[in-house]
């Protein structure tokens, strides 16, 4: 049975007015994402990737087009999604556990019902024992694990991730690839993941959308069929390196990478 589309982006165009003139961020961008899919959008800096995520979440309006999540048009901040940004956005005065439960508290949902799930998620990402710690006591990778737990605690059908590992060192980033894949395999949530890291895209995705430089359009679509869990298998699979090279060649042809 074919999965249904959980997210439909239809002919989205976005322009910004600046002191230097009009910036055309996205142009007639259309994309359907199926339920349970791990989709990665990869593109150069400034191509409109983060703008797209903000539009999907309803945090930013569009000039043309529409976004539909589970049959609902997005016209304002959409609450039934989880979002993880590049910056962890944790609250310094709250413990790890209370940061994870923050949205539950704000929505006045019963804490007793969600606290066991919060503890389970923290254990899943290796933060058990740090429930009472504060953000300043955590490493960058631990902060992003906490942010991930907070984003999925209320069990949203769609998780949006905007370059969440971009500021981390290589070893921490690769560990978080493993952690995120483990969570995805356990929950099969639909994930839209933004990155400019080609290896990260191939490591994580079921499907990769390669974007053009600004204004952002779809340049190429690729399927990744390497078996999961993927970390060690991908490194030993020639398909992995062929996909990485194909994406790099796409950027060379567009003039993003100059040789």
Q: What is the 3-state secondary structure (H, E, C) of 78-90?
A: CCCEEEECCCCCC
Predicted local distance difference test score (pLDDT) of residue 1: 54
C-alpha–C-alpha distance, residues 62 and 82, integer Å: 20
* Rg from Cα positions in the chain: 18
Q: What is the mean pLDDT of each run of 10 residues along the chain (259 residues)?
A: 86 91 93 96 91 95 95 90 87 95 87 93 92 94 93 92 90 90 91 94 95 94 90 77 92 84
Output DSSP code: residue 196: S
Confidence (pTM)? 0.93
Per-residue pLDDT at 98: 96
DSSP, res 243? H
Alpha-carbon distance of 242 to 72, in angstroms, equals 38
Evaluated on CA atoms 252, 205, 163, 26, the torsion sign reads: positive
Whole-angstrom distance, CA of residue 139 vs CA of residue 5: 37
Task: Please give the pLDDT value at position 247.
Answer: 94
Cβ atoms of residues 168 and 84 within 8 Å: no
CA separation for the pair 98, 131 (Å, rounded): 8
pLDDT of residue 2: 64
The maximal CA–CA distance of the chain, rounded, in angstroms, is 58
* pLDDT at position 221: 96
Residue 202's pLDDT is 93
Burial category of 129 from C-beta neighbours within 10 Å (exposed 0-12, middle 13-18, buried 19 and up): exposed
Domains detected in the chain: 37-47+78-253 (3.40.50.300)
């Amino acid at each position: 049975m074919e999965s249904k589309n959980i997210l439909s982006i239809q002919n989205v165009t976005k322009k910004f007015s600046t002191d230097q003139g009009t910036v055309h961020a996205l142009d007639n961008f259309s994309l359907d994402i199926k339920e349970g899919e791990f989709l990665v959008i990869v593109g150069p800096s400034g191509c409109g990737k983060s703008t797209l995520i903000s539009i999907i979440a309803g945090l930013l309006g569009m000039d043309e087009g529409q976004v539909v999540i589970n049959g609902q048009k997005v016209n304002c901040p959409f609450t039934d999604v989880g979002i993880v940004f590049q910056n962890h956005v944790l609250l310094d005065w709250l413990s790890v556990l209370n940061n994870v439960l923050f949205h539950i508290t704000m929505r006045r949902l019963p804490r007793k019902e969600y606290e066991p799930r919060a503890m389970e998620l923290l254990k899943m990402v290796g933060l058990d024992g740090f429930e009472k710690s504060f953000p300043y006591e955590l490493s960058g990778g631990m902060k992003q694990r906490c942010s991930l737990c907070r984003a999925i605690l209320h069990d949203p059908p769609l998780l949006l991730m905007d370059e969440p590992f971009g500021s981390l060192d290589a070893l921490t980033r690769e560990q978080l690839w493993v952690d995120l894949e483990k969570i995805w395999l356990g929950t099969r949530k639909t994930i839209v993941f933004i990155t400019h890291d080609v290896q990260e895209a191939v490591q994580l995705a079921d499907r990769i959308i390669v974007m053009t430089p600004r204004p952002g359009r779809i340049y190429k679509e690729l399927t990744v069929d390497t078996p999961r869990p993927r970390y060690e298998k991908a490194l030993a699979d020639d398909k992995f390196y062929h996909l990485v090279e194909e994406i790099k060649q796409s950027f060379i042809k567009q003039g993003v990478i100059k040789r």
